[in-house]
Amino acid sequence: MSTEDERRVRAAEDAAAWLIHMESSAMSDEERAKFADWIRESPMHVAEMLRAGLIHQALTNYARRGLIEPIDKASVPNVTELTPPKNHRRSGAGLLSPGRWVPLTASLVCIAVIAGLLLSRSAPISVSTQAGERRELSLPDGSAMTIAPNSRLLIAFSRSDRLILLERGQVLFRVAKDPKRPFVVDTGGARTRDVGTTFSVERGQEGIVVTVVDGRVDVRPENAGNHFDVQGEGRTPSVSLGQDEQVTISGAGMAEPVRKVSSRNEVSWAQGQLVFDNTRVSDIAQRFNQYNSIQIRVTDPSLATRLITGVFREDDPRSFAEFLQSEAGAAVTLSSNGEIVIGASNSKILESSAPQTTR
Amino acid sequence: MAQTALDRFTGWFRYWRLPLRRFLSERRAIAAADIEDVAQEVFLRVLRYGRSEFVENPQAYLFRIATNVAAEWSMRSSRRLPHDSNWLSDLAAESNPESEIDLDIEDDQLARAVQGLTPRAREIIRLHYSDGLTHKVIAERLNISRRIIKRDLICAYTALRSALGHRL
Protein backbone atom coordinates (compact mmCIF):
# COMPACT_ATOMS: atom_id res chain seq x y z
CA MET A 1 0.00 0.00 0.00
CA SER A 2 1.48 3.33 -0.96
CA THR A 3 1.68 6.27 1.41
CA GLU A 4 -1.00 8.00 -0.65
CA ASP A 5 -3.35 5.05 -0.16
CA GLU A 6 -2.60 4.98 3.55
CA ARG A 7 -3.44 8.64 3.85
CA ARG A 8 -6.63 8.03 1.92
CA VAL A 9 -7.67 5.18 4.20
CA ARG A 10 -6.93 7.25 7.27
CA ALA A 11 -8.84 10.22 5.86
CA ALA A 12 -11.83 7.98 5.13
CA GLU A 13 -11.77 6.64 8.68
CA ASP A 14 -11.48 10.10 10.16
CA ALA A 15 -14.31 11.35 7.96
CA ALA A 16 -16.53 8.45 9.06
CA ALA A 17 -15.68 9.14 12.70
CA TRP A 18 -16.59 12.82 12.31
CA LEU A 19 -19.84 12.11 10.54
CA ILE A 20 -20.91 9.50 13.06
CA HIS A 21 -19.94 11.80 15.88
CA MET A 22 -21.85 14.81 14.60
CA GLU A 23 -24.81 12.60 13.88
CA SER A 24 -25.00 11.16 17.39
CA SER A 25 -24.30 14.24 19.46
CA ALA A 26 -24.02 17.99 19.26
CA MET A 27 -20.46 19.12 18.73
CA SER A 28 -18.76 21.27 21.33
CA ASP A 29 -16.92 24.44 20.31
CA GLU A 30 -13.67 22.62 20.70
CA GLU A 31 -14.79 19.75 18.50
CA ARG A 32 -16.05 22.14 15.84
CA ALA A 33 -12.67 23.84 15.82
CA LYS A 34 -10.92 20.49 15.52
CA PHE A 35 -13.19 19.45 12.69
CA ALA A 36 -12.69 22.77 10.92
CA ASP A 37 -8.92 22.43 11.16
CA TRP A 38 -9.05 18.88 9.93
CA ILE A 39 -11.09 19.95 6.90
CA ARG A 40 -8.71 22.83 6.25
CA GLU A 41 -5.77 20.45 6.19
CA SER A 42 -6.33 18.78 2.85
CA PRO A 43 -8.66 18.52 -0.15
CA MET A 44 -8.52 14.79 0.48
CA HIS A 45 -10.27 15.37 3.80
CA VAL A 46 -12.95 17.36 2.00
CA ALA A 47 -13.43 14.60 -0.57
CA GLU A 48 -13.64 11.86 2.06
CA MET A 49 -16.05 13.91 4.15
CA LEU A 50 -18.33 14.35 1.13
CA ARG A 51 -18.09 10.62 0.46
CA ALA A 52 -18.93 9.86 4.09
CA GLY A 53 -22.07 11.92 3.52
CA LEU A 54 -22.90 9.75 0.50
CA ILE A 55 -22.36 6.58 2.52
CA HIS A 56 -24.57 7.96 5.25
CA GLN A 57 -27.36 8.48 2.76
CA ALA A 58 -26.81 5.10 1.11
CA LEU A 59 -26.99 3.33 4.46
CA THR A 60 -30.08 5.26 5.50
CA ASN A 61 -31.85 4.42 2.23
CA TYR A 62 -30.85 0.81 2.45
CA ALA A 63 -31.89 0.35 6.07
CA ARG A 64 -35.18 2.19 5.59
CA ARG A 65 -36.16 -0.13 2.78
CA GLY A 66 -36.11 -2.87 5.38
CA LEU A 67 -33.34 -4.71 3.58
CA ILE A 68 -31.46 -5.60 6.75
CA GLU A 69 -32.81 -8.64 8.52
CA PRO A 70 -33.18 -8.28 12.26
CA ILE A 71 -30.53 -10.25 14.05
CA ASP A 72 -31.51 -13.76 15.00
CA LYS A 73 -29.47 -14.66 18.01
CA ALA A 74 -30.29 -18.35 17.74
CA SER A 75 -28.89 -18.63 14.26
CA VAL A 76 -25.85 -16.49 14.94
CA PRO A 77 -24.24 -18.01 18.00
CA ASN A 78 -21.23 -15.78 17.67
CA VAL A 79 -23.18 -12.70 18.50
CA THR A 80 -22.84 -13.29 22.18
CA GLU A 81 -19.14 -13.75 21.70
CA LEU A 82 -18.78 -10.34 20.18
CA THR A 83 -19.74 -8.37 23.24
CA PRO A 84 -16.80 -6.85 25.05
CA PRO A 85 -15.01 -9.30 27.29
CA LYS A 86 -16.10 -8.67 30.84
CA ASN A 87 -13.19 -10.31 32.54
CA HIS A 88 -10.41 -8.53 30.75
CA ARG A 89 -7.69 -7.57 33.09
CA ARG A 90 -6.15 -4.24 32.43
CA SER A 91 -2.93 -2.63 33.39
CA GLY A 92 -3.14 -0.35 36.36
CA ALA A 93 -1.70 2.56 34.46
CA GLY A 94 -4.73 2.54 32.20
CA LEU A 95 -2.46 2.38 29.21
CA LEU A 96 -4.51 -0.37 27.71
CA SER A 97 -7.94 0.77 28.71
CA PRO A 98 -10.13 0.74 25.62
CA GLY A 99 -11.13 4.31 26.28
CA ARG A 100 -7.77 5.48 25.11
CA TRP A 101 -7.72 3.60 21.88
CA VAL A 102 -10.10 5.64 19.85
CA PRO A 103 -9.35 9.29 20.09
CA LEU A 104 -11.73 10.81 17.61
CA THR A 105 -9.34 12.78 15.51
CA ALA A 106 -6.30 10.61 15.88
CA SER A 107 -5.88 7.74 13.54
CA LEU A 108 -8.67 5.30 13.99
CA VAL A 109 -7.79 1.73 13.84
CA CYS A 110 -10.63 -0.27 12.50
CA ILE A 111 -11.49 -3.37 14.39
CA ALA A 112 -12.16 -6.36 12.29
CA VAL A 113 -14.07 -9.11 13.94
CA ILE A 114 -13.20 -12.60 12.99
CA ALA A 115 -16.16 -14.88 13.38
CA GLY A 116 -16.66 -18.52 12.77
CA LEU A 117 -13.32 -19.55 14.17
CA LEU A 118 -14.72 -21.53 17.04
CA LEU A 119 -15.65 -24.66 15.21
CA SER A 120 -12.59 -26.03 13.60
CA ARG A 121 -8.95 -25.53 12.99
CA SER A 122 -9.28 -26.55 9.38
CA ALA A 123 -9.27 -23.00 8.09
CA PRO A 124 -6.77 -20.80 9.90
CA ILE A 125 -7.11 -17.14 9.10
CA SER A 126 -4.08 -15.27 7.93
CA VAL A 127 -3.60 -11.65 8.93
CA SER A 128 -0.79 -9.40 7.83
CA THR A 129 0.08 -5.74 8.13
CA GLN A 130 2.20 -3.52 5.91
CA ALA A 131 4.81 -0.95 6.84
CA GLY A 132 3.11 1.83 8.74
CA GLU A 133 -0.07 -0.16 9.22
CA ARG A 134 -1.24 -0.98 12.72
CA ARG A 135 -4.33 -3.10 13.10
CA GLU A 136 -6.65 -4.05 15.87
CA LEU A 137 -8.49 -7.28 15.72
CA SER A 138 -11.00 -8.73 18.08
CA LEU A 139 -11.39 -12.46 18.23
CA PRO A 140 -14.58 -14.43 18.77
CA ASP A 141 -13.52 -15.44 22.28
CA GLY A 142 -13.39 -11.78 23.31
CA SER A 143 -9.63 -11.51 23.13
CA ALA A 144 -8.11 -8.61 21.26
CA MET A 145 -4.89 -8.08 19.39
CA THR A 146 -2.99 -5.01 18.33
CA ILE A 147 -0.77 -5.92 15.43
CA ALA A 148 2.37 -3.91 14.75
CA PRO A 149 3.38 -2.92 11.23
CA ASN A 150 5.11 -5.53 9.08
CA SER A 151 3.65 -8.48 10.93
CA ARG A 152 2.12 -11.70 9.75
CA LEU A 153 0.22 -14.27 11.75
CA LEU A 154 -2.23 -17.12 11.52
CA ILE A 155 -5.20 -17.52 13.82
CA ALA A 156 -6.32 -21.08 14.42
CA PHE A 157 -8.92 -21.56 17.11
CA SER A 158 -10.47 -24.83 18.09
CA ARG A 159 -12.71 -26.01 20.89
CA SER A 160 -9.81 -27.06 23.04
CA ASP A 161 -7.35 -24.24 22.47
CA ARG A 162 -6.73 -20.87 20.92
CA LEU A 163 -3.65 -20.92 18.77
CA ILE A 164 -1.84 -18.02 17.14
CA LEU A 165 1.10 -18.64 14.85
CA LEU A 166 3.23 -15.53 14.68
CA GLU A 167 5.33 -15.67 11.55
CA ARG A 168 6.93 -12.27 11.90
CA GLY A 169 6.46 -8.94 13.61
CA GLN A 170 4.93 -8.04 16.91
CA VAL A 171 1.51 -8.42 18.46
CA LEU A 172 0.05 -7.21 21.72
CA PHE A 173 -2.47 -9.71 23.04
CA ARG A 174 -5.23 -9.01 25.54
CA VAL A 175 -6.49 -12.44 26.25
CA ALA A 176 -9.98 -13.09 27.52
CA LYS A 177 -9.98 -15.56 30.39
CA ASP A 178 -10.85 -19.11 29.51
CA PRO A 179 -8.96 -21.70 31.56
CA LYS A 180 -10.43 -24.52 29.49
CA ARG A 181 -9.01 -23.16 26.29
CA PRO A 182 -5.42 -22.04 26.70
CA PHE A 183 -4.27 -19.20 24.49
CA VAL A 184 -1.04 -20.23 22.81
CA VAL A 185 1.23 -18.06 20.72
CA ASP A 186 3.59 -20.13 18.64
CA THR A 187 6.59 -18.28 17.27
CA GLY A 188 8.54 -21.17 15.86
CA GLY A 189 11.31 -20.94 18.43
CA ALA A 190 9.09 -20.55 21.45
CA ARG A 191 5.56 -21.13 22.57
CA THR A 192 3.85 -18.73 24.95
CA ARG A 193 0.95 -20.11 26.86
CA ASP A 194 -1.57 -18.08 28.70
CA VAL A 195 -5.05 -18.20 30.14
CA GLY A 196 -6.06 -14.56 30.41
CA THR A 197 -3.66 -11.66 30.48
CA THR A 198 -2.02 -8.94 28.42
CA PHE A 199 1.29 -9.59 26.79
CA SER A 200 3.26 -8.84 23.69
CA VAL A 201 5.21 -11.20 21.47
CA GLU A 202 7.75 -10.04 18.94
CA ARG A 203 9.41 -12.25 16.40
CA GLY A 204 12.33 -10.50 14.80
CA GLN A 205 15.76 -11.20 13.43
CA GLU A 206 17.37 -11.36 16.84
CA GLY A 207 14.94 -13.86 18.23
CA ILE A 208 11.67 -13.83 20.07
CA VAL A 209 10.86 -11.28 22.73
CA VAL A 210 7.94 -11.85 25.09
CA THR A 211 6.83 -9.04 27.39
CA VAL A 212 4.11 -9.33 30.00
CA VAL A 213 2.03 -6.24 30.73
CA ASP A 214 -0.39 -7.85 33.11
CA GLY A 215 -0.84 -11.35 34.47
CA ARG A 216 1.45 -14.31 33.97
CA VAL A 217 2.47 -16.42 30.99
CA ASP A 218 4.67 -19.43 30.40
CA VAL A 219 7.18 -19.30 27.61
CA ARG A 220 8.59 -22.56 26.41
CA PRO A 221 11.63 -22.38 24.13
CA GLU A 222 11.56 -25.00 21.45
CA ASN A 223 14.19 -26.50 19.28
CA ALA A 224 13.41 -26.87 15.64
CA GLY A 225 11.61 -30.11 14.90
CA ASN A 226 9.46 -30.15 18.02
CA HIS A 227 6.03 -31.45 17.39
CA PHE A 228 2.99 -29.33 17.20
CA ASP A 229 1.48 -30.05 20.57
CA VAL A 230 -0.45 -27.31 22.24
CA GLN A 231 -1.50 -29.04 25.41
CA GLY A 232 1.48 -31.27 25.95
CA GLU A 233 4.35 -30.55 28.29
CA GLY A 234 7.60 -30.27 26.47
CA ARG A 235 10.99 -31.46 27.55
CA THR A 236 12.42 -27.97 27.47
CA PRO A 237 11.80 -26.19 30.78
CA SER A 238 9.50 -23.23 30.42
CA VAL A 239 10.14 -19.71 31.63
CA SER A 240 7.45 -18.14 33.77
CA LEU A 241 6.98 -14.43 33.22
CA GLY A 242 5.08 -12.04 35.46
CA GLN A 243 4.08 -8.42 35.13
CA ASP A 244 6.75 -6.13 33.66
CA GLU A 245 8.99 -9.04 32.85
CA GLN A 246 10.56 -9.82 29.52
CA VAL A 247 12.49 -12.70 28.05
CA THR A 248 14.35 -13.08 24.79
CA ILE A 249 14.61 -16.46 23.12
CA SER A 250 17.59 -16.56 20.82
CA GLY A 251 17.52 -18.02 17.35
CA ALA A 252 19.04 -21.23 18.76
CA GLY A 253 16.10 -21.65 21.10
CA MET A 254 17.91 -20.59 24.25
CA ALA A 255 16.13 -18.43 26.80
CA GLU A 256 18.10 -15.50 28.13
CA PRO A 257 17.66 -14.52 31.78
CA VAL A 258 14.36 -12.82 32.55
CA ARG A 259 14.62 -9.02 32.59
CA LYS A 260 12.58 -6.50 34.50
CA VAL A 261 11.26 -3.92 32.02
CA SER A 262 8.74 -1.15 31.82
CA SER A 263 6.05 -2.97 29.88
CA ARG A 264 4.37 0.38 29.39
CA ASN A 265 7.32 1.52 27.32
CA GLU A 266 7.72 -1.81 25.60
CA VAL A 267 4.18 -1.85 24.23
CA SER A 268 3.90 1.89 23.61
CA TRP A 269 3.94 1.13 19.87
CA ALA A 270 0.38 -0.13 20.23
CA GLN A 271 -0.63 3.47 20.84
CA GLY A 272 1.45 4.90 18.06
CA GLN A 273 4.33 5.90 20.29
CA LEU A 274 7.87 4.69 20.36
CA VAL A 275 9.56 5.03 23.72
CA PHE A 276 13.31 4.58 23.93
CA ASP A 277 15.38 4.40 27.06
CA ASN A 278 19.12 4.56 26.37
CA THR A 279 18.67 2.90 23.01
CA ARG A 280 21.21 2.98 20.21
CA VAL A 281 20.46 5.31 17.32
CA SER A 282 20.84 2.42 14.88
CA ASP A 283 18.24 0.36 16.77
CA ILE A 284 15.84 3.30 16.86
CA ALA A 285 16.31 3.83 13.14
CA GLN A 286 15.58 0.15 12.54
CA ARG A 287 12.38 0.45 14.55
CA PHE A 288 11.23 3.47 12.55
CA ASN A 289 12.09 1.68 9.31
CA GLN A 290 9.97 -1.28 10.32
CA TYR A 291 6.98 0.99 10.86
CA ASN A 292 7.30 3.45 7.99
CA SER A 293 7.76 3.48 4.27
CA ILE A 294 10.09 6.47 4.62
CA GLN A 295 13.38 4.86 5.54
CA ILE A 296 16.13 6.23 7.75
CA ARG A 297 19.77 5.48 6.99
CA VAL A 298 22.45 6.31 9.55
CA THR A 299 25.78 6.66 7.80
CA ASP A 300 27.97 7.75 10.71
CA PRO A 301 29.11 4.76 12.84
CA SER A 302 29.76 6.78 15.98
CA LEU A 303 26.34 8.39 15.77
CA ALA A 304 24.78 4.96 15.21
CA THR A 305 26.00 3.70 18.57
CA ARG A 306 24.95 6.79 20.48
CA LEU A 307 22.36 6.18 23.19
CA ILE A 308 19.11 8.11 23.06
CA THR A 309 16.24 8.45 25.49
CA GLY A 310 13.01 9.87 24.19
CA VAL A 311 9.45 9.47 23.01
CA PHE A 312 8.57 9.72 19.34
CA ARG A 313 5.51 9.22 17.23
CA GLU A 314 6.00 6.00 15.33
CA ASP A 315 4.70 7.49 12.07
CA ASP A 316 7.02 10.46 12.19
CA PRO A 317 10.61 9.45 11.40
CA ARG A 318 11.35 13.07 10.49
CA SER A 319 10.89 14.17 14.08
CA PHE A 320 13.58 11.70 15.09
CA ALA A 321 15.92 13.00 12.38
CA GLU A 322 15.24 16.56 13.49
CA PHE A 323 15.89 15.56 17.06
CA LEU A 324 19.31 14.17 16.10
CA GLN A 325 19.99 17.28 14.07
CA SER A 326 19.26 19.64 16.92
CA GLU A 327 20.55 17.54 19.80
CA ALA A 328 23.54 15.81 18.27
CA GLY A 329 24.25 18.20 15.44
CA ALA A 330 23.82 15.40 12.94
CA ALA A 331 23.71 16.29 9.24
CA VAL A 332 20.26 15.30 7.95
CA THR A 333 19.64 15.11 4.24
CA LEU A 334 16.89 13.72 2.07
CA SER A 335 18.14 11.43 -0.64
CA SER A 336 16.61 11.37 -4.10
CA ASN A 337 14.77 8.12 -3.34
CA GLY A 338 13.07 9.63 -0.31
CA GLU A 339 15.41 8.19 2.31
CA ILE A 340 16.33 10.25 5.33
CA VAL A 341 20.10 10.12 5.52
CA ILE A 342 21.61 10.94 8.89
CA GLY A 343 25.31 11.57 8.67
CA ALA A 344 28.21 12.77 10.76
CA SER A 345 27.91 16.14 12.32
CA ASN A 346 30.10 18.98 11.18
CA SER A 347 30.84 20.03 14.72
CA LYS A 348 31.68 17.86 17.67
CA ILE A 349 28.73 15.90 18.98
CA LEU A 350 27.24 17.47 22.05
CA GLU A 351 26.47 15.30 25.00
CA SER A 352 22.82 15.65 25.85
CA SER A 353 22.03 14.27 29.24
CA ALA A 354 18.44 15.17 29.95
CA PRO A 355 15.75 12.87 28.57
CA GLN A 356 14.10 14.48 25.60
CA THR A 357 10.51 14.25 24.63
CA THR A 358 9.23 14.86 21.17
CA ARG A 359 5.62 14.63 20.22
CA MET B 1 -25.98 28.91 26.92
CA ALA B 2 -28.44 26.19 27.79
CA GLN B 3 -29.94 24.28 24.92
CA THR B 4 -33.04 22.16 25.04
CA ALA B 5 -32.99 18.76 23.45
CA LEU B 6 -35.28 20.01 20.72
CA ASP B 7 -33.05 22.97 19.99
CA ARG B 8 -30.13 20.67 19.74
CA PHE B 9 -31.95 18.36 17.43
CA THR B 10 -33.12 21.06 15.07
CA GLY B 11 -29.64 22.47 15.41
CA TRP B 12 -27.98 19.38 14.08
CA PHE B 13 -30.57 19.08 11.42
CA ARG B 14 -30.25 22.63 10.25
CA TYR B 15 -26.53 22.74 10.66
CA TRP B 16 -25.52 19.72 8.76
CA ARG B 17 -28.30 17.36 7.74
CA LEU B 18 -30.10 19.77 5.48
CA PRO B 19 -26.92 21.14 3.92
CA LEU B 20 -25.80 17.56 3.41
CA ARG B 21 -29.09 16.60 1.76
CA ARG B 22 -28.89 19.59 -0.56
CA PHE B 23 -25.40 18.59 -1.47
CA LEU B 24 -26.48 15.00 -2.09
CA SER B 25 -29.27 16.01 -4.41
CA GLU B 26 -26.96 18.36 -6.31
CA ARG B 27 -24.30 15.78 -6.43
CA ARG B 28 -26.33 13.55 -8.74
CA ALA B 29 -25.13 15.62 -11.64
CA ILE B 30 -21.52 15.00 -10.77
CA ALA B 31 -19.81 11.91 -12.03
CA ALA B 32 -18.09 9.94 -9.29
CA ALA B 33 -14.80 10.60 -11.03
CA ASP B 34 -15.30 14.33 -10.58
CA ILE B 35 -15.72 14.30 -6.82
CA GLU B 36 -11.99 14.89 -6.30
CA ASP B 37 -12.17 18.01 -8.48
CA VAL B 38 -15.23 19.23 -6.63
CA ALA B 39 -13.40 18.62 -3.35
CA GLN B 40 -10.42 20.65 -4.61
CA GLU B 41 -12.68 23.57 -5.37
CA VAL B 42 -14.53 23.23 -2.06
CA PHE B 43 -11.22 23.12 -0.23
CA LEU B 44 -10.03 26.36 -1.85
CA ARG B 45 -13.28 28.11 -0.97
CA VAL B 46 -13.06 26.85 2.61
CA LEU B 47 -9.59 28.38 2.90
CA ARG B 48 -10.91 31.65 1.48
CA TYR B 49 -13.42 31.82 4.31
CA GLY B 50 -10.78 32.33 6.97
CA ARG B 51 -10.56 30.11 9.97
CA SER B 52 -12.55 32.10 12.51
CA GLU B 53 -15.56 32.30 10.24
CA PHE B 54 -15.40 28.68 9.17
CA VAL B 55 -15.02 27.40 12.73
CA GLU B 56 -18.41 28.86 13.67
CA ASN B 57 -20.22 26.10 11.89
CA PRO B 58 -17.87 24.02 9.81
CA GLN B 59 -20.27 21.15 9.09
CA ALA B 60 -22.89 23.43 7.58
CA TYR B 61 -20.37 25.59 5.74
CA LEU B 62 -18.67 22.56 4.27
CA PHE B 63 -21.81 21.04 2.81
CA ARG B 64 -23.17 24.40 1.75
CA ILE B 65 -20.01 25.26 -0.13
CA ALA B 66 -20.06 21.78 -1.63
CA THR B 67 -23.65 22.33 -2.72
CA ASN B 68 -22.73 25.56 -4.47
CA VAL B 69 -19.78 24.01 -6.20
CA ALA B 70 -21.87 21.01 -7.23
CA ALA B 71 -24.61 23.29 -8.58
CA GLU B 72 -22.10 25.24 -10.64
CA TRP B 73 -20.60 21.99 -11.78
CA SER B 74 -23.91 20.60 -12.96
CA MET B 75 -24.76 23.87 -14.72
CA ARG B 76 -21.49 23.69 -16.57
CA SER B 77 -22.20 20.14 -17.64
CA SER B 78 -25.92 20.69 -18.23
CA ARG B 79 -25.35 20.93 -21.96
CA ARG B 80 -24.04 17.42 -21.87
CA LEU B 81 -26.82 16.17 -19.62
CA PRO B 82 -29.92 17.99 -20.85
CA HIS B 83 -32.40 15.79 -19.07
CA ASP B 84 -30.85 15.68 -15.69
CA SER B 85 -33.52 17.43 -13.70
CA ASN B 86 -31.54 17.95 -10.55
CA TRP B 87 -33.64 21.01 -9.71
CA LEU B 88 -36.49 18.59 -9.15
CA SER B 89 -34.60 16.48 -6.64
CA ASP B 90 -33.33 19.65 -5.03
CA LEU B 91 -36.90 20.79 -4.64
CA ALA B 92 -37.81 17.42 -3.18
CA ALA B 93 -35.00 17.67 -0.67
CA GLU B 94 -36.21 21.09 0.41
CA SER B 95 -39.86 20.30 0.73
CA ASN B 96 -39.60 16.86 2.21
CA PRO B 97 -36.36 16.34 4.04
CA GLU B 98 -37.26 12.77 4.97
CA SER B 99 -37.61 11.67 1.36
CA GLU B 100 -35.00 9.40 -0.05
CA ILE B 101 -32.39 10.77 -2.31
CA ASP B 102 -31.46 8.25 -4.91
CA LEU B 103 -27.71 7.91 -5.11
CA ASP B 104 -27.52 5.72 -8.20
CA ILE B 105 -25.78 3.06 -6.22
CA GLU B 106 -26.98 -0.36 -7.25
CA ASP B 107 -28.83 -2.16 -4.51
CA ASP B 108 -27.01 -5.43 -5.05
CA GLN B 109 -23.67 -3.72 -4.79
CA LEU B 110 -24.71 -2.10 -1.57
CA ALA B 111 -26.28 -5.34 -0.40
CA ARG B 112 -23.04 -7.23 -0.92
CA ALA B 113 -21.14 -4.60 1.02
CA VAL B 114 -23.64 -4.60 3.87
CA GLN B 115 -23.68 -8.41 3.96
CA GLY B 116 -19.92 -8.32 4.37
CA LEU B 117 -20.26 -6.47 7.65
CA THR B 118 -20.39 -8.26 10.99
CA PRO B 119 -23.86 -9.26 12.23
CA ARG B 120 -23.52 -6.82 15.09
CA ALA B 121 -22.64 -3.92 12.77
CA ARG B 122 -25.64 -4.74 10.59
CA GLU B 123 -27.89 -4.83 13.62
CA ILE B 124 -26.61 -1.45 14.77
CA ILE B 125 -27.19 0.01 11.30
CA ARG B 126 -30.71 -1.42 11.20
CA LEU B 127 -31.63 -0.09 14.63
CA HIS B 128 -30.06 3.29 14.03
CA TYR B 129 -30.86 4.13 10.42
CA SER B 130 -34.11 2.26 9.99
CA ASP B 131 -35.66 2.30 13.44
CA GLY B 132 -34.10 5.62 14.34
CA LEU B 133 -32.84 4.52 17.74
CA THR B 134 -30.13 6.60 19.35
CA HIS B 135 -26.72 5.16 20.13
CA LYS B 136 -27.65 5.21 23.81
CA VAL B 137 -30.73 3.07 23.32
CA ILE B 138 -28.92 0.67 21.01
CA ALA B 139 -26.13 0.34 23.55
CA GLU B 140 -28.61 -0.69 26.22
CA ARG B 141 -30.47 -3.04 23.94
CA LEU B 142 -27.42 -4.87 22.65
CA ASN B 143 -25.59 -4.62 25.95
CA ILE B 144 -22.53 -3.03 24.42
CA SER B 145 -20.82 0.30 24.97
CA ARG B 146 -21.50 3.39 22.88
CA ARG B 147 -17.86 3.39 21.96
CA ILE B 148 -18.28 -0.02 20.36
CA ILE B 149 -21.27 1.27 18.44
CA LYS B 150 -19.23 4.15 17.07
CA ARG B 151 -16.38 1.83 16.26
CA ASP B 152 -18.66 -0.61 14.44
CA LEU B 153 -20.22 2.23 12.47
CA ILE B 154 -16.83 3.63 11.53
CA CYS B 155 -15.79 0.18 10.36
CA ALA B 156 -19.02 -0.12 8.39
CA TYR B 157 -18.41 3.24 6.72
CA THR B 158 -14.85 2.41 5.80
CA ALA B 159 -15.89 -1.02 4.52
CA LEU B 160 -18.59 0.55 2.33
CA ARG B 161 -16.13 3.21 1.27
CA SER B 162 -13.73 0.62 -0.07
CA ALA B 163 -16.46 -1.62 -1.49
CA LEU B 164 -18.19 1.21 -3.34
CA GLY B 165 -14.98 3.12 -4.00
CA HIS B 166 -15.38 3.80 -7.69
CA ARG B 167 -19.08 4.60 -7.42
CA LEU B 168 -18.76 7.30 -4.79
For chain A (359 residues), the mean pLDDT of every run of 10, in chain order, is 76 93 84 92 91 88 82 42 33 33 36 39 68 76 83 81 87 85 84 83 86 88 52 64 90 84 82 82 88 87 86 83 83 85 64 43
Neighbours of A75 (CB within 10 A): 9
Nearest-Cα distance to chain B for A43, in Å, is: 5
Q: Tell me: pLDDT of B89 over 90.
A: no
| In chain A, beta strands by DSSP E | 111-113, 125-128, 135-138, 144-147, 152-157, 162-174, 183-186, 190-194, 198-204, 207-214, 217-221, 239-241, 245-249, 259-260, 273-280, 296-298, 307-313, 331-334, 340-343, 356-357
The answer to whether A137 faces chain B, any CB pair under 8 Å, is: no
Give every CB contact of residue A206 below 8 A, 6+ residues apart in sequence.
A248, A250, A251
pLDDT attached to residue A177: 83
Could you tell me the pLDDT band of residue B149, with boundaries at 50, 70 and 90?
A: very high
Q: Give the ranges where chain A is alpha helix by DSSP (H).
A: 3-24, 29-39, 43-64, 78-81, 263-266, 281-291, 301-304, 317-328
Mean pLDDT within B117-123:
90
Give me the pLDDT at residue A195, please.
67
Task: Note the pLDDT of residue A86.
Answer: 33
What phi and psi, each to the nearest 5 degrees, are found at residue A195? Answer: -115, -5
Residues of B in contact with A99 (CB under 8 A): 147
Q: B residues 139-168 near A, CB within 8 Å?
A: 142-148, 150-158, 160-162, 164, 168
Distance CA A10, CA A359 (A): 19
- Say if residues A213 and A263 touch (Cβ distance below 8 Å): yes
Interchain pair A110, B154: CB under 8 A: yes
- Substitution target in A13, A28, A35, A68 with the highest count of B β-carbons within 10 Å is A68
> Which of A3-7, A66-70, B78-82, B105-109 is the least confident region?
B78-82
CA distance B87 to B44: 25
Does B97 have pLDDT greater than 50? Answer: no
Q: What is the spatial order of strands in the sheet that A331-334 belongs to? A: A296-298, A340-343, A331-334
Is residue B150 scored above 70 in pLDDT? yes
Q: Please tell me which residue of chain A has the smallest CA distance to B100.
A: A61
